[in-house]
Amino acid sequence: MSEKSILAYFKSPEEAEGVAKKLRALRVVDLSIDRFSRFPRASMYSTGPFTGGMPSLTSVTYGTTYSDKDVSILAAADPSASGMSDGGQGGPTGRDIILSVVVEEESFEKARRIVEEAGGFV
């Protein structure tokens, strides 16, 4: 039998978990729920200019500094870090939870409907 996959984006892990419970009633081959970021490998530590130093632009604009130098450079290059942001166009959509599911082909349409009816962005 062949399999099909669905990638759906949600606003919260709870939304994705609710859909996952319904999908498990179908023939699910594989299912995962993850959070993603536009700054990969990002781990943050809190800092600020009042501590006696300003390690990066992101420490002032975001209130945090990234431990990975490459991620820090990427974050500082973002329009929202410079104050020249246009209000978020092209930035995060609030859907940073991804549900990945692989189902048998005969269950695909039903699975897709379940995801869309729950508000998942497919």
Render pLDDT for 39-60 as a digit per residue (tens, 0 to 9): 655 544 444 445 555 666 666 6
Radius of gyration of the chain (CA): 19
One domain, residues 52 and 82: yes
d(CA 9, CA 76): 26
Q: Which helix (H) or strand (E) holds 42?
A: none
One domain, residues 86 and 45: yes
Count of domains for the chain: 2
One domain, residues 24 and 2: yes
Domain containing 103 — which CATH number? 3.30.70.2750
- pTM equals 0.62
Q: Can you give the residue range of the structural domain that contains 49?
A: 41-91
One domain, residues 52 and 87: yes
One domain, residues 56 and 76: yes
User: Over the stretch 57-72, which tens digit does the pLDDT of each residue have?
Assistant: 666 666 666 777 777 7
- 31 with 24: CB under 8 angstroms? yes
d(CA 86, CA 67): 27
